[in-house]
Amino acid sequence: MYGTTMCSDCRRTKQFFEANKVSYKWVDLANDPDAVEFVLKHNNGMQSVPTIIFPDGSIMVEPSNKELAEKLAVLV
């Protein structure tokens, strides 16, 4: 998951993952210029976070908890 510490959606998503025991890797855009480039490339030049890459290669940007739950049910 690509995000920033100031992002409320990122904090919510991290809480969702932790509450549901979903393992994830956190990449803070403030500390990783390559991550910023990746996010910009995959979001039409916008720094939209959280940007989440799933094991199946799919990407979700700023998903709701409901969207995450639906996605994770598919991956289980």
- In the prediction, which pLDDT does 14 show? 98
Q: 12-35, pLDDT tens digit by residue? A: 999 999 999 999 999 999 999 999
Q: 29-75, pLDDT tens digit by residue? A: 999 999 999 999 999 999 999 999 999 999 999 999 999 999 999 77
Question: What's this model's pTM, rounded to 2 decimal places?
Answer: 0.92
Fold of 2-75: Glutaredoxin (3.40.30)
Q: Are 48 and 62 in contact (CB under 8 A)?
A: yes
Tokens 């700023």 locate to 62
Q: Are 49 and 28 in contact (CB under 8 A)?
A: no
E strand or H helix at 13: helix 8-19
Contacts of residue 28, defined as CB under 8 A and 6 or more positions apart, other chains included, come to 3, 4, 5, 35
